[in-house]
Amino acid sequence: MQSGMNILTSSGPVAAAQARLGWWLMIVSVLVILVVGILVLVGAFRSDDGDRRAIDRRGGGIKWIVVGGIIVPAIILVLTLSFTVATEVATAAPPADPSVTIEVIGHRWWWEVKYAGAPAHTVVTANEIHIPVGAPVRVQLSSADVIHSFWIPQLAGKTDVIPGQRNVMWLQANKAGIYRGACTEYCGLQHANMAAFVVAETPAAFRQWLQTQADSAATPTDPDAVVGLGVFQRSACGACHAIRGSEALGHVGPELTHLASRMTIAAGALENTRGNLAGWIANSQAIKPGNDMPVMALRPADLQALVAYLETLK
Amino acid sequence: MATTTVPGQLPERLTRIWETAPGLYGVLATVDHKTIGKRYLVTSMLFLLIGGADAAIMRLQLTHADAHIVSPETYNQLFSMHGITMIFWYAAPVLSGFSNYLWPLMLGARDMACPRANALSYWTFLMSGVFLYTSVLVGQVPDRGWFAYAPLTEAAFSPGLNMDFYAIGLTFLSVSTSVGAINFIVTLFKTRAPGLSVNRLPIFVWGTLTTSFAVILATPALTAACVLLYLDRRFGSHFYDPGRGGSALLWQHLFWSFAHPWVYIVVLPAMGMISDLIPTFCRRPLVGYTLVALATVSTGILGFGVWVHHMFATGLPATASSFFSAASMVITIPSAIAVFSWLATIWHGRPVFKTPMLFAAGFIVLFVVGGVSGVATAANAYDLQLTDTYFIVAHLHYVLIGINVFAVMAGFYFWLPKITGRMMSETLGKLNFWLMFLGFGVGFFPMHTLGLMGMPRRIYTYSSGFGWGWQNVWVTVGAYVFALGVVVFIVNFFWSLVFGEAAGANPWDAPTLEWAIPSPPPDYNFEHIPIVASRHPLWEDRLDEGTGRTVFDGPVLDRKRDTFGTTPLDAEPQEILRMPEDTVWPFVVSLSILVIAYGLLFGLMWLAIVGTVGLFIAIIGWLLPSHEPTASPVET
């Protein structure tokens, strides 16, 4: 179900246009390499029994330079440049005004995702970007710290995420699926563990998801989860994390209101399972050294209760 | 013209005038371009080995998904130091080594125009490298990449001395590159042998000349970038801090307006070496000499107009971005001219495949692969997909290993017999070539496909499931085979010193002036300053270029350290230049800068002041006038 990151097997109009240009460049490149390679190889194997001391200046070589070094490359470059500019212009702006605008904020080392406008103005999530399939989506990029770069290879090329600057890009998925991406500007210790996912789903499913995400977290009823909420509050998790509908208002780490609905935790470093969640809370520094989450020294029973509470945040 | 004032036979007299003093004083005080050239070559090759060792460890970590050979912190330091070392302390200095050693020999001069500045450029190169690697001793190694993008390098995100080593170290190194470049330019326009007009220069000389101008114009941008970074980090300025009115992209513009010309700085002299040795092994002059010389200069100029192609993803308007895309593609033309000049020389000549020629042939193929992948990255719309993936890692290694390292290997096999007086083993040489060429192909070609399959750069780990696994095994295996080739080169070098057959003056029957004198050359280079009549002085007996014959038994200039000063274009003799004697002041200047650098690094202002006082004393010592004229007119 989840895609790879191959840039030539695209699933959206931007990436498809870029891939067409890529195929052209690849074919031309291979041809040029073959021609020159053969000329070198065949040139090398021409036998010569002549006098090694002899030096001569046979003419005619200048034609090689004029044809091979000027005329042919000039033709190839004009074609390539035309194709490139056409692709650049075609992908610069979406064909229709996007109905969905998403704000993506780069943090070291995770992505904060916000959905603007009613009815979902409160929707804030992390590392997973849900979009409706078949329609252009505008993505506004900003950074909370250093430069990152936002890249979903099968949907669109990279756009840098630069502090003090708001870059805007657009993407569109032509078929439903989960598209994996990554931060591609080196941003420090855990640059390698900063994945992003685009989840493209039918417009109806997307609206349903948005509605659910707009809800505040329900107060837990399960006894384990009630204990877990207490652990959450006692351990000051809310200093860094927000859960709408609770007293937790922190904005250092990802919002957790609908944590349990996500596929992964720690920006793609771990699958979102009960065991991984417990392991992450207990010692995230062993999994993703250098991240901002402190090591939580919890008793095993408290840890289990906390995870039970977090699991209710659907 | 030769007024004999020193008694004895001519070679002994000249040796006495030009030889370096014995002992430690001589080691520190020598201004002989050949000694300085050899030091450059050895030092830069040591940096190549250190940078290679960094890469060897990185490849162990990346061979398998989810490996734990090194910590993320260590990995980030390794890839940063690999890039910094290779690009700044190997790739350009190794070419300076060849130029320093060969230029006076090729130009028919007895030394570089500014021998003391030459010594200064070596000492600052060495000491800035020592300074950089102090970071390993104190355990605070630069870890933000060779490109060091702000604001990640600001004190808020990079506490510790790591990036101070980078900022101060590169500023220090820029003293070396600037001084060296000025020296090459003065040497070219002032101290060529009479008759060696600019249209008779080896292409290698054209390459180094072009890069010397590029260095002078490009280096200030890097120095400014590093000084601003240091001010931000240590004195609380906010040049790169967008939160306080600074700009994150300022660094990138400054850095790339330096670093893209730098790419040509580390390849143009190397291309020139290939342009000069291919004719020797094809038994004919280079096809299209003038076009290649012009292509060299125009590449150097165009190289200043393309830096934004490193920044296509920063959110530029499509028009601006497309302009830089077009400018970058135009550079293909001068490169293609060079490639087809080499091909035409091979096809219109009678090639002999000795080891240097093998490396040159391999060089042409790798040059073209690196060139076409460069066109792909110049296409802005597609570059948005390629940038910061392994495709770029493949491209830049085809450029830097293909065009720099392969040319350097060719250059070593070609010119080491001149430097050491001993031939290297052809058998080991061929083994060396095939290990490097095949290892390189196996190791670096799959990086293209890894990039197309989406593998980002600068990641210390990756998970399985992307199809990257087996190709990363290939990359590691290939890289180690390549490294084995480097080991064979080192073995061959030492083998040649012990067992190599004597080279004689001109083992390859090459056409240019450096082959007219014994191998290794005497302290004074030329017993008689040649009066040059053509582009191929040693082929004149077989190649009638209609310009007469070069005179090899002309003026001797044996009063003191004298060489000819000639006019800039036609090399008409103007004056006799009195060259400086040995001096320790360049060494003391460098040492003082090193002390200042440590003072700035550790925030010890008293230490910086001590260094500054030392620097002033050294400069005064250097500038104290001797009581002799520095130039006298030519009596004709």
pTM for the predicted model, two decimal places: 0.95
For B294-328, what is each residue's pLDDT tens digit? 999 999 999 999 999 999 999 999 899 999 999 99
Instruction: Note whether A193 and A300 are same-domain residues.
Output: no
- B-chain residue closest to A18, CA distance: B382
Question: Which residues, 6+ apart, have CB-to-CB distance to B292 below 8 Å?
Answer: B203, B206, B275, B286, B337, B338, B341
pLDDT tier for residue B1 given thresholds of 50, 70 and 90:
very low
Quick check: B424 and B500 in contact, CB under 8 A? yes
Q: Cβ separation of B385 and A158 shorter than 8 Å?
A: yes
Q: Is residue A50 part of a domain?
A: no
Q: Cβ separation of A192 and B460 shorter than 8 Å?
A: yes
- A95: buried, middle or exposed (CB in 10 Å: 19+, 13-18, 0-12)? exposed
Residues B69, B460: Cα–Cα separation, whole Å? 10
Quick check: A277 and A310 in contact, CB under 8 A? yes
Residues within 8 A of B (CB atoms), A 44-83 only:
44, 46, 48, 50, 52-65, 67-70, 72-74, 77, 80-81, 83
- B-chain residue closest to A169, CA distance: B315
Residue A201 burial (CB count, 10 A): 18
Q: Is residue A58 part of a domain?
A: no
Residues A199, A206: Cα–Cα separation, whole Å? 9
Instruction: Note whether A7 and A147 are same-domain residues.
Output: yes
Distance from CA of B597 to the nearest CA of A (A): 26
Report the 3 state secondary structure along A38-62: HHHHHHHHCCCCCCCCCCCCCCCHH
Could you tell me the two tokens for B600?
A: 């700035």
Instruction: Note whether A85 and A124 are same-domain residues.
Output: yes
Q: Cβ separation of A81 and B542 shorter than 8 Å?
A: no
Architecture of domain B267-469+491-502: Up-down Bundle (1.20)
DSSP-derived letter for residue A112 is E
Which three-class secondary structure state does DSSP give residue B200? Answer: helix
Q: Cβ separation of A158 and B460 shorter than 8 Å?
A: no
Instruction: Note whether A115 and A192 are same-domain residues.
Output: yes
Instruction: Note whether A288 and A269 are same-domain residues.
Output: yes
Instruction: Note whether A175 and A104 are same-domain residues.
Output: yes
Q: CB distance from A185 to chain B under 8 Å?
A: yes
Domain residue limits at A115: 1-41+66-213
Q: Is residue A78 part of a domain?
A: yes
Taking CA atoms, B371 is separated from B212, B319, B399, B400, in Å, by: 23, 24, 7, 11
Instruction: Note whether A150 and A278 are same-domain residues.
Output: no
pLDDT tier for residue B634 given thresholds of 50, 70 and 90:
confident
Q: Is the pLDDT of residue B203 over 90?
A: yes
Could you tell me the two tokens for B480?
A: 């180690």
CA angle at residue B50 from B483 to A288, to 5 degrees? 95
Residues B421, B411: Cα–Cα separation, whole Å? 15
Instruction: Note whether A174 and A236 are same-domain residues.
Output: no
Instruction: Note whether A180 and A249 are same-domain residues.
Output: no
CATH number for the domain that contains residue A186: 2.60.40.420
Question: Which residues, 6+ apart, have CB-to-CB distance to A238 below 8 Å?
Answer: A232, A246, A247, A248, A249, A250
Q: CB distance from A43 to chain B under 8 Å?
A: yes
What domain count does chain A have?
2
Domain boundary among A213, A236, A265: A213
Residues within 8 A of B (CB atoms), A 111-140 only:
none
Domain ranges of chain B: 267-469+491-502
Find chain A residues with C-beta within 8 A of B364's C-beta. Answer: 36, 40
pLDDT tier for residue B2 given thresholds of 50, 70 and 90:
very low
Question: Which residues, 6+ apart, have CB-to-CB distance to A49 below 8 Å?
Answer: none
Q: Is the pLDDT of residue B558 over 90?
A: no
Q: CB distance from A9 to chain B under 8 Å?
A: no
| Residues paired with residue A179 on neighbouring β-strands, in sequence order | A198
Instruction: Note whether A177 and A248 are same-domain residues.
Output: no
Find chain B residues with C-beta within 8 A of A37's C-beta. Answer: 365, 368
Q: Is residue A93 part of a domain?
A: yes
Strand ranges (E), chain A: 100-107, 110-115, 124-126, 128-132, 137-143, 148-152, 156-161, 167-171, 177-183, 195-201, 264-265, 270-271
Residues B81, B85: Cα–Cα separation, whole Å? 6
Q: Is residue A268 part of a domain?
A: yes
Residues A275, B115: Cα–Cα separation, whole Å? 70
Strand (E) or helix (H) holding B395: helix B390-397
For B534-556, what is each residue's pLDDT tens digit? 999 999 999 877 788 999 998 88
Instruction: Note whether A246 and A183 are same-domain residues.
Output: no
pLDDT tier for residue B415 given thresholds of 50, 70 and 90:
very high
Q: Is the pLDDT of residue B563 over 60?
A: yes
Taking CA atoms, B392 is separated from A309, B341, B387, in Å, by: 45, 27, 6
pLDDT tier for residue A47 given thresholds of 50, 70 and 90:
low
Q: Is residue A53 part of a domain?
A: no
Instruction: Note whether A85 and A186 are same-domain residues.
Output: yes
